[in-house]
Amino acid sequence: MNAFSYRISGVQPSAIREILKFTSDPEVISFAAGNPAPEAFPVETIRRISDDILREEPISALQYSITEGYPKLRQWLKDDMTKKEMFNEQDDELIITSGAQQAIETCAKIFCNEGETIICEEPSFIGSLNAFRTYNAKLVGVEMDDDGMIPEKLEQALKANPRTAFIYVIPNFQNPTGKTTSLERRKMILDLAYKYNVLVLEDNPYGDLRFAGIDVPSIKSMDKKGHVIYAGTFSKILSPGLRVGYMIATKMMISKATVALQTSTVHTNIWAQMVAYRFVTEVDLEEHFQKLREIYKNKCSLMLNSLKFAMPRSIDFTEPEGGLFIWGTLPCGDMNAFCKAAVENKVAVVPGNAFSVDERKPSLSFRLNFSTPTDEQIEQGVEILAKVAKTMY
Amino acid sequence: MNAFSYRISGVQPSAIREILKFTSDPEVISFAAGNPAPEAFPVETIRRISDDILREEPISALQYSITEGYPKLRQWLKDDMTKKEMFNEQDDELIITSGAQQAIETCAKIFCNEGETIICEEPSFIGSLNAFRTYNAKLVGVEMDDDGMIPEKLEQALKANPRTAFIYVIPNFQNPTGKTTSLERRKMILDLAYKYNVLVLEDNPYGDLRFAGIDVPSIKSMDKKGHVIYAGTFSKILSPGLRVGYMIATKMMISKATVALQTSTVHTNIWAQMVAYRFVTEVDLEEHFQKLREIYKNKCSLMLNSLKFAMPRSIDFTEPEGGLFIWGTLPCGDMNAFCKAAVENKVAVVPGNAFSVDERKPSLSFRLNFSTPTDEQIEQGVEILAKVAKTMY
């Protein structure tokens, strides 16, 4: 009695959650979160849209709905994704999920038997790693350089793990590193997926938040054989509290995903889906994205410039072209001691090993978030971090 | 490639969904759904509350929130459940889920290894059965009489299946039968759970919709050993589109459930949780429940009286004291032929075998829903059903 399943027994609450406990102290400046900038939420528009919905079609917004998602939102997404060459009417289907996280967890559920392998970038997003762990997947991390996963290492991992369910990648402004996978590397990942007959799960929560450089075609858009599953979300462009994401894959895959979602959440909150639909059809989306990119660009620049100015030169920082995160790497020494000293001085960052497929593996890196803190907090926080760093480096 | 996991390979979309396809024909009167009565939705109150939230605390309603749920709603539920002797501050914890369905699916995930047994009422709610199937659980059905599961049969099932994860029961106005498990039977289920050292998952979506008879104490309220997990929901008393439910269990169990939910939906739509909280604290709940009970009582009586008046006497119908469903049973013959003839004559009911742990097992029963159709549809639909039945019985 009270024996938990093997699949859940070994999974610990995310290390980030533990860090976030410190941040409930109002004196702590948190660079540890992953929240979108609150000033980016189109509050007034959402309020107006919500009121319209609850006046014009309240029963539709409150009654049970279908698992596949609000038909109008699905159609808009299909049309939008068709324009981006990421949806093919003939072969593909699209389902709404309660955030991209649910799409990712569902992929583990429907594709990965216990003990089978999921290959990830090393480091990768802890929420996805933990989702995979709850299905007893064997996680294999592939080392990255500035262009993404190193193809030779990926091929080694595929050779060594013939029972691989899929390769999980976040090609744009990756969480936690902020790195973007180059076009050449995306092609190589897809070629290797074909060669070793495995799927690719492409997670793209930040794609619309590019504030520098030029867009790189998604892996999904290059796939002609139904090997790529794509996960998208409204969390970073509209509101994460709504919990509206989506998943594109072959029709057969989405039919299995539908069964899985029907038996877990039945459907995604329908009011939220209707809000998302009216939002994308009623506002000037390009203008909205432009505003978001401006906010994120300014915050990222402020943090990077502050870091460059104040921190010891021996500490390295990635320079993301979008997204929410900067990845810092110490030249040597004890990263955990650095993070501990930082939080004792009221600045929270996330230790890099939290994002590893093996959390016990030593790491010299840490994750900084620039979207949640205010400009003032960014400046103050970096100043404190620099003081801590200077006593150690 | 494209090989699905064993756990999802065998699970088919719910048979109800297939039936519901017929009901997209506007000429079909559907007794096949399981939707709450739309006239029971407090539309105006929800609209006012939603507007208040998006004016007064928009960022809280739109930003990421914590997996455990909106603290104010959790506290209100804990207080309410403490009054009902269903929450014990010292031992219990409560987590918000995206509908009770997610609580049920999460129990399978965290308690049931592949191949282990889940014991269910026979028949039982298809959404739960399918959730258990997606974890490769072995489903064992226990025959019911009018008072619920037959204790001897339950003990036989427990003896025959030493690797049982939990017993799943819907004690109030069960879906699909409308039956209520008696107090004595509830005690016996708990005693057997203690004796065989297994858990009980008590699913109570309809408890507040009692329109006849008197309340029976929940199994959770009788449990002194932390064996009972309780799943509740706002779907039937407020709105199912909101997708807000909850789960009560020991602190250790809820900590595992938190990990599972953190990696699936992260948290339940926060606007919906805030709406639910303001609703339960701002309206006269007893008055609201009274209004709902009146609606359900009238619809149930109308359907039962129409059935008694028009249908052949040899067809039996349960007389529920609450909830949404009536269970019909033919004296002999071919139930599927009856359901097929009904839908061809534009009335949809759900064949009873859909609710069996083994859908291939022959059944003489079918499920009728009285909450979704209008009064006129109830009268017309029963008339048509009776015509069909009279050609066969």
Q: For B224-271, what is each residue's pLDDT tens digit?
A: 999 999 999 999 999 999 999 999 999 999 999 999 999 999 999 999
Last residue of a domain, one of A260, A282, A304: A282
B265 and B352 share one domain:
no
> Given CB atoms, is B102 within the 8 Å cutoff of chain A?
yes
Q: Please confirm whether the linkage preceding A123 is cis (ω < 30° from 0).
A: yes
pLDDT of residue A19: 67
pLDDT tens-digit readout, B151-193: 999 999 999 999 999 999 999 999 999 999 999 999 999 999 9
pLDDT of residue B359: 86
**CATH number, domain containing residue B225:** 3.40.640.10
B159 and B212 share one domain:
yes
pLDDT for residue A308 is more than 70: yes
Cα B81 from Cα A300, distance rounded (Å): 46
Q: Look at B242 and A269 and tell me if their CB atoms are within 8 Å.
A: yes
pLDDT tens-digit readout, B336-380: 999 999 999 999 999 999 999 998 889 999 999 999 999 999 999
A179 and A326 share one domain:
no
pLDDT tens-digit readout, A248-262: 999 999 999 999 999
Q: What is the crossing angle of helices A100-111 and A251-262, to 10°?
A: 100
Average pLDDT rounded to a whole number, residues B42-48 = 97
Average pLDDT rounded to a whole number, residues B16-23 = 68
Chain A residues in contact with B99 by the CB 8 A cut-off are 265-266
Quote the minimal CA–CA distance from A122 to chain B in Å. Answer: 19
pLDDT of residue B244: 98
Q: Does any domain span residue A135?
A: yes
Cα A56 from Cα A271, distance rounded (Å): 12
Cα B168 to the chain's mean position, in Å? 11
- The count of other CB atoms within 10 Å of the CB of residue A240 is 26
pLDDT of residue A15: 66
A253 and A312 share one domain:
no
Quote the minimal CA–CA distance from A267 to chain B in Å. Answer: 8
Amino acid at residue number B263: T
Residue A70, token pair as written in the block: 């609000």
| Interface confidence (ipTM) of the complex | 0.95
Q: Look at B131 and A255 and tell me if their CB atoms are within 8 Å.
A: no
**Cα separations in angstroms, A352 against A28, A359, B110, B376:** 19, 9, 28, 64
Cα B165 from Cα B137, distance rounded (Å): 9
Residue B194, token pair as written in the block: 């203690």
Residue B83, token pair as written in the block: 């009054």
pLDDT of residue B2: 52
**Alpha-carbon torsion (A91, A113, B114, A269), positive or negative:** negative
Tell me which residue in B35, B55, B258 faces A13 most closely, judged by beta carbons.
Answer: B258
Which value, to the nearest 10 degrees, does the dihedral of the CA atoms of residues A217, A218, A220, A225 take?
A: 50
Chain B residues in contact with A37 by the CB 8 A cut-off are none
Q: Look at B41 and A51 and tell me if their CB atoms are within 8 Å.
A: no
A273 and A310 share one domain:
no
A187 and A314 share one domain:
no
pLDDT of residue A9: 87
Residue A80 structural domain: 59-282
Quote the minimal CA–CA distance from A130 to chain B in Å. Answer: 6
Q: Does any domain span residue B51?
A: no
Last residue of a domain, one of B282, B305, B334: B282
Last residue of a domain, one of A261, A282, A303: A282
**CATH number, domain containing residue A383:** 3.90.1150.10
Q: Does any domain span residue B50?
A: no
Q: Does any domain span residue A200?
A: yes
User: What's phi and psi for B229, nearest 5 deg?
Assistant: -105, 135
* Residue of chain A minimizing CA distance to B126: A263
pLDDT tens-digit readout, B133-154: 999 999 999 999 999 999 999 9
Q: Does any domain span residue A50?
A: no
A172 and A68 share one domain:
yes
> Given CB atoms, is B113 within the 8 Å cutoff of chain A?
yes
Chain B contacts in chain A segment 125-184 (CB below 8 A) = 127, 130-131, 133-134, 165
> Given CB atoms, is A59 within the 8 Å cutoff of chain B?
yes
Tell me which residue in B4, B7, B13 faces A258 most closely, judged by beta carbons.
Answer: B13
Tell me which residue in B1, B60, B253 faces A198 most closely, judged by beta carbons.
Answer: B1
**Alpha-carbon torsion (B231, B233, B236, B237), positive or negative:** positive
User: Each residue of A309-342: b (16+ CB within 10 Å) or e?
Assistant: ebbeeebebbebbbbbbbbbbbeeeebeebbebb
Torsional class of B69: left (φ above 0), alpha (ψ -120 to 50), beta (otherwise): left
> Given CB atoms, is B331 within the 8 Å cutoff of chain A?
no
pLDDT tens-digit readout, A124-163: 999 999 999 999 999 999 999 999 999 999 999 999 999 9
Q: Give the pLDDT band of residue B9 (cuts 50, 70, 90).
A: confident
Q: Give the pLDDT band of residue A359 (cuts 50, 70, 90).
A: confident
Residue B177, token pair as written in the block: 């039968």
pLDDT for residue B19 is more than 90: no
A65 and A196 share one domain:
yes
Torsional class of A333: left (φ above 0), alpha (ψ -120 to 50), beta (otherwise): left
Q: Give the pLDDT band of residue A273 (cuts 50, 70, 90).
A: very high
Residue with tokens 């930003």: B63
DSSP annotation string for A159-204:
HH-SSEEEEEE--SS-TTT-----HHHHHHHHHHHHHTT-EEEEE-
* Residue of chain B minimizing CA distance to A116: B5
Cα B211 from Cα B215, distance rounded (Å): 10
Residue B217, token pair as written in the block: 């104490």
Q: Does any domain span residue A204?
A: yes
CB B36 within 8 A of CB B324: yes
> Given CB atoms, is B250 within the 8 Å cutoff of chain A?
yes
* Residue of chain B minimizing CA distance to A43: B58
Residue B117, token pair as written in the block: 């047994």
Quote the minimal CA–CA distance from B5 to chain A in Å. Answer: 5
B365 and B324 share one domain:
yes
Nearest to B325 by CA among B371, B381, B373, B356: B371
Q: Does any domain span residue A48?
A: no
pLDDT for residue A113 is more than 60: yes
A294 secondary structure, DSSP code: H
pLDDT for residue A347 is more than 60: yes
Quote the minimal CA–CA distance from A384 to chain B in Å. Answer: 27
Interface test with B, best of A12, A265, A268 (most B CBs within 10 A): A265
Average pLDDT rounded to a whole number, residues A199-210 = 97
Q: Does any domain span residue B1?
A: no
Q: Look at A239 and B62 and tell me if their CB atoms are within 8 Å.
A: yes
Chain B residues in contact with A11 by the CB 8 A cut-off are 259, 263
Cβ partners under 8 Å of residue B161, min gap 6: B117, B119, B138, B140
Chain B residues in contact with A165 by the CB 8 A cut-off are 5
- What total of structural domains would you count in chain B? 2
Chain A residues in contact with B34 by the CB 8 A cut-off are 64
A23 and A156 share one domain:
no
> Given CB atoms, is A199 within the 8 Å cutoff of chain B?
yes
A117 and A70 share one domain:
yes
Q: Give the pLDDT band of residue B10 (cuts 50, 70, 90).
A: confident
B212 and B311 share one domain:
no
**Cα separations in angstroms, B3 against A203, A222, B130:** 20, 22, 20
User: Residue B94 is inside which H or E element, if any?
Assistant: strand B92-97
Cβ partners under 8 Å of residue B217, min gap 6: B85, B183, B186
Quote the minimal CA–CA distance from A77 to chain B in Å. Answer: 20
> Given CB atoms, is B115 within the 8 Å cutoff of chain A?
no
